Amino acid sequence: MKYFAANWKLHKNPQETRNFLSDFQQKYSRKSSQEVIFFPPSICLEAASQVVKTPLQWGAQNVYSQIKGAFTGETSAQTVADLGGKYILIGHSERRQIFHEKDELLSEKLTLVQQLGLTPMLCIGETLSERESGKTMQVLESQLTQGLKNFDQQKALTVAYEPVWAIGTGKVAQVAQVKEAHFEVRKILNRLGCNDKTPILYGGSVKPDNAKELLAVPEVGGFLVGGASLEVASFLAICASE
């Protein structure tokens, strides 16, 4: 199974979400070997729930570590589940860097998401300074070990490796770099007790013209796509790269 996930970040309003998803579904040629997932902004989750039809899936870009309470501005994982969502992004580099989310909080979120029967997609990745100082593997091991501290081995899990320096910059990690990182992530996941089939997605300036080459890299189980997922044609082309 290959996974193609669209992270729209803070783009599209509810009507644009409905229009995009309707157009995409009309043009998408279903492949049984694919899981296609959309992560719209939180204000568009209900719109997505009204339009997305199986086999396509949708989820939230972020949730809080508790189901409800006095947490102004947060999103409830239970509400995502009630609306029919399946996936939750956890620990995207923008959540870590801009909103200063720490591994302990991310671990709490992941645990709650699994308890609710949703699938967490844990995002990991190094900054440019960490790569240049030779700390990439150390960073990945720390983020995985801390983020999966209390995860349930019997429940679904996905991981997305996104080198921070390649997100939205137009820079793409070299094939050798992607191969090395994904190989190391697999080893770490095995040590932590994860299933060998736990998918490891790659993210970082994925586009139609580089998708096929990247998808051929061992242990690349698909993509978490940002900017190139905002247009129907480009995301369809990426999904067709398999």
Catalytic residues: 92, 162
Contacts of 230 (CB under 8 A, 6+ apart): 6, 8, 11, 12
Say how far residue 79 (Cα) sits from the centre of its chain. Answer: 19
Q: How many CB atoms lie within 10 A of CB 33?
A: 7
Yes or no: say if 52 and 20 are a contact pair by the CB < 8 Å rule.
Answer: no
Side-chain-facing half-sphere of 147: CA atoms under 13 Å: 29
The rounded distance, in Å, linking the Cα atoms of 108 and 190 is 21
Give the H or E element holding residue 33. none
- For the chain, the C-alpha Rg in angstroms (whole number) is 17
d(CA 16, CA 167): 24
DSSP-derived pairing of the beta strands 2-7 and 34-39: parallel
